[in-house]
């Protein structure tokens, strides 16, 4: 698993405030382009750091920060030189993936760094808030009530820094619509700043029960926006239990109807676990009969993080044991002509009849394989595991294709 954020050693920081910075490896970057840019030296470049080099980068307009990334030995070798520079961050080799074009959030007072945009990642998710009106049994980002609206301020700035040509970005939470109209403004900013970038938003959809709000989002006319909205059962009581919020089912369904009425693309997401599994086929029937007009349905495997770890015994279901139910559910969606996919599953645990809708969907930074996958002839087609599945629980029925 890639380490995207954490505490690091800092030296000579000149400000208390967190800030975003582009990463460059070009020490000769023209002075005019150094604003909001951090110079990254790693590996051999760290070992070659000399006092002359330090003098040269100090003598012209400074970078926002100097990021030195290497092993403990490499960093120890250059610490005395780094002491002569302002705003230095010493990064362990866990951050060796950082490269030209990435964007980091530097937090001098918290002595931490976060990689908030990786140029070569296929998807970059931007966390907008940790606040939420659900308390889902399997929430991967357990809600907090503290005001974290600085995340939204950062998101506006980050959107303007992300390069055009980026294929996809995502907004996630918490519940992004907690911000009301500010969320709509952010979608509009994404449309204006990144017109060629597809935008995925994860939301519980309840705010859109208010038709005027759905209409506002529709009026943005983002060219490639899709809202991913979870629906865990056709039975309102079961859905409300899973999200731990009474009335959620009705509001979510109203939200989906309003969004579609105003031309916003919707993906319905069903996470498959012990609590949703008993009605998975009926849930797909419900979606097909009542929400035939949604754009996509995703049947998703369980990520073992956040609340899922605490509730694992009442959530875990081995995909091998429910593979026939998964096939049946997909068959229902297919029969109605719905566009559907299976996400977050291992290829050897699904029946062959769902392979045409099987997707490699786990984000690269938290994607791993088991040692036995090394001998699998179809590893390149398989989405593998969440790192947390490898750590905490996975099926005992993994069986490499020979
Ligand atoms: S053995 Fe590993 S790589 Fe092969 S299909 Fe199963 S999980 Fe995927």
Residue 69 CB–ligand 1 contact under 6 Å: no
Task: Tell whether 227 is covered by a domain.
Answer: yes
pLDDT of residue 173 exceeding 90 = yes
Are 104 and 189 part of one and the same domain?
Answer: no
pLDDT digits (tens, 9 = 90+) for 244-254: 999 999 999 99
Whether 112 and 143 share a structural domain: no
Pairwise CA distance, residues 71 & 66, whole Å? 16
- Same domain as 79, residue 151: no
Residue with tokens 């030995």: 73
Tell me: do 23 and 46 sit in the same domain. yes
Domain residue limits at 289: 124-392
Residue 251, in any domain of the structure: yes
Residue 178 shares a structural domain with residue 35: no
Q: Supply the residue whose CA is at minimum distance from atom 1 of ligand 1.
A: 400
298 band by pLDDT with thresholds 50, 70 and 90:
very high
Q: Are 114 and 38 in contact (CB under 8 A)?
A: no
CATH code of the domain in which 132 resides:
3.20.20.70
CB 233 within 8 A of CB 207: no
pLDDT in tens, 29-46: 888 888 899 999 998 888
Q: 347 in a domain, yes or no?
A: yes
Ligand 1 in reach of 346 Cβ (< 6 A) = yes
Comparison of pLDDT for 67 and 85, the residue scoring more: 67
Looking at the structure, do residues 194 and 92 belong to the same domain, yes or no?
Answer: no
- Dihedral of CA atoms 228, 305, 118, 200 in degrees, nearest 10, equals 0
Ligand 1 contact via 58 beta carbon (within 6 Å): no
| DSSP reduced 3-state for 239 | helix
373 within ligand 1 shell (Cβ under 6 A): yes
Same domain, 77 and 218: no
117, 143, 171 - which closes a domain: 117
- Say yes or no: 297 and 182 in one domain: yes
Within this chain, do residues 18 and 160 fall inside the same structural domain, yes or no?
Answer: no
Structure token digits, residue 261: 């009425």
Q: From atom 6 of ligand 1, which residue's Cα is the shortest distance away?
A: 348
Contact 307, 352 (CB under 8 A): no
Ligand 1 centroid to residue 142 C-alpha, Å: 30
The helix (run of H) or strand (run of E) holding residue 195 is none
Residue with tokens 């049947």: 299
User: Distance from the CA of 356 to the center of ligand 1, in angstroms?
Assistant: 17
pLDDT in tens, 255-284: 999 999 999 999 999 999 999 999 999 999
Say whether pLDDT at 55 is over 80.
no
Residue closest via CA to ligand 1's atom 7 equals 346
Our CA dihedral for 107, 108, 109, 112, rounded to 10 degrees, sits at 50
**H-helix segments, 162-279:** 181-193, 211-220, 236-243, 248-261
Token digits of residue 341: 């996919």
CATH number at residue 106: 3.50.30.60
How many whole angstroms from 361 Cα to the centroid of ligand 1?
14
- Nearest CA to 96 out of 43, 55, 155 is that of 43
2 pocket-lining for ligand 1 (C-beta < 6 Å) = no
Higher per-residue confidence, 46 vs 160: 160
Confidence band of 48 (pLDDT split at 50, 70, 90): confident
253 lines ligand 1 (CB under 6 A): no
Is residue 214 within 8 Å of residue 262, measured between CB atoms? yes
Query: Does residue 398 form part of some domain?
Result: no
Indicate whether 23 and 139 sit together in one domain: no
Domain presence at residue 397 = no
pLDDT of amino acid 8:
94
Tally of domains within the chain: 2
**Residue 362 near ligand 1, beta carbon < 6 Å:** no
What's the 72 CA to ligand 1 centre distance in angstroms? 35
Cα(114)–Cα(349) distance, rounded to whole angstroms? 35
**DSSP string covering 1-48:** ----EEE-EEES---SS-EEEEEE--TT--GGG-TTEEEEEETHHHHT
- Which ligand 1 atom minimizes the distance to the CA of 401? 4
Q: Indicate if 287 and 195 belong to the same structural domain.
A: yes
In whole angstroms, give the CA distance from residue 206 to residue 190.
22
- Distance (Å, whole) CA 294 – CA 326: 20
User: What DSSP assignment string belongs to 97-117?
Assistant: T--TT-EEEEETTTTEEEEEE
pLDDT tens per residue, range 317-361: 999 999 999 999 999 999 999 999 999 999 999 999 999 999 999
- How are beta strands 265-271 and 296-300 bridged, if at all? parallel
Rounded-to-10 torsion of CA 338, 341, 342, 343? -140
The reply to whether ligand 1 has any atom less than 6 angstroms from the CB of 398 is yes
Percent over 70 (pLDDT), the chain: 100
C-alpha–C-alpha distance, residues 189 and 158, integer Å: 11
| 314 and 187 housed in the same domain | yes
Q: Which atom of ligand 1 is nearest to the CA of 379?
A: 3
The mean predicted confidence, pLDDT, of the chain is: 95
Relative to the CA of 382, which ligand 1 atom is closest? 8
Total-model pTM: 0.93
Instruction: Decide: 347 in ligand 1 pocket, CB within 6 A.
Output: yes
The contacts of residue 100 (CB under 8 Å, 6+ apart) are 23, 24, 25, 26, 40, 119
């Amino acid at each position: 698993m890639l380490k995207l954020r954490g505490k690091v050693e800092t030296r000579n920081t000149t400000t208390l405030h967190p800030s975003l910075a582009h990463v460059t490896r070009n020490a000769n970057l023209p002075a005019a382009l150094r604003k909001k840019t951090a110079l990254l030296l790693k590996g051999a470049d760290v070992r070659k750091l000399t006092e002359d080099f330090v003098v040269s980068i100090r003598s012209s307009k400074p970078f926002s920060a100097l990021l030195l990334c290497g092993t403990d030995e490499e960093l120890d070798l250059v610490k005395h030189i780094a002491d002569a520079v302002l705003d230095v961050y010493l990064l362990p080799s866990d951050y060796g993936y950082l490269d030209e074009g990435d964007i980091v959030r530097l937090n001098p007072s918290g002595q931490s760094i976060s990689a908030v945009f990786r140029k070569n990642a296929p998807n970059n998710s931007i966390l907008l808030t940790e606040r939420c009106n659900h308390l889902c049994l399997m929430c991967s980002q357990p809600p907090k009530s503290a005001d974290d609206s600085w995340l939204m301020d950062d998101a506006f700035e980050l959107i303007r820094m992300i390069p055009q040509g980026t294929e996809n970005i995502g907004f996630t939470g918490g519940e992004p619509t907690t911000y009301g109209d500010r969320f709509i403004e952010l979608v509009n900013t994404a449309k204006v700043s990144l017109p060629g970038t597809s935008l995925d938003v994860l939301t519980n959809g309840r705010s859109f029960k208010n038709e005027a709000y759905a209409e506002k989002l529709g009026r943005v006319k983002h060219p490639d926006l899709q809202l991913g909205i979870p629906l865990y059962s056709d039975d309102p009581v079961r859905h409300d239990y899973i999200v731990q919020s009474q009335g959620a089912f009705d509001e979510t369904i109203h939200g989906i109807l309003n969004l579609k009425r105003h031309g916003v693309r919707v993906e319905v997401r069903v996470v498959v676990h012990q609590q949703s599994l008993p009605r998975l086929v009926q849930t797909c029937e419900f979606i097909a009969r009542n929400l035939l007009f949604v754009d996509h349905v995703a049947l998703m495997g369980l990520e073992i993080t956040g609340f899922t770890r605490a509730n694992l015994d009442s959530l875990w279901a081995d995909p091998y044991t429910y593979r026939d139910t998964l096939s049946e559910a997909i068959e229902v969606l297919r029969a109605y002509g719905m566009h559907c996919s299976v996400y977050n599953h291992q290829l050897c645990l699904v029946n062959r009849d769902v392979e045409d809708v099987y997707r490699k969907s786990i984000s690269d930074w938290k994607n791993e394989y088991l040692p036995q996958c090394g001998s699998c002839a179809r590893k390149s087609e398989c989405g593998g595991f969440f790192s947390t599945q490898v750590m905490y629980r996975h099926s005992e029925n993994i069986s490499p294709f020979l």
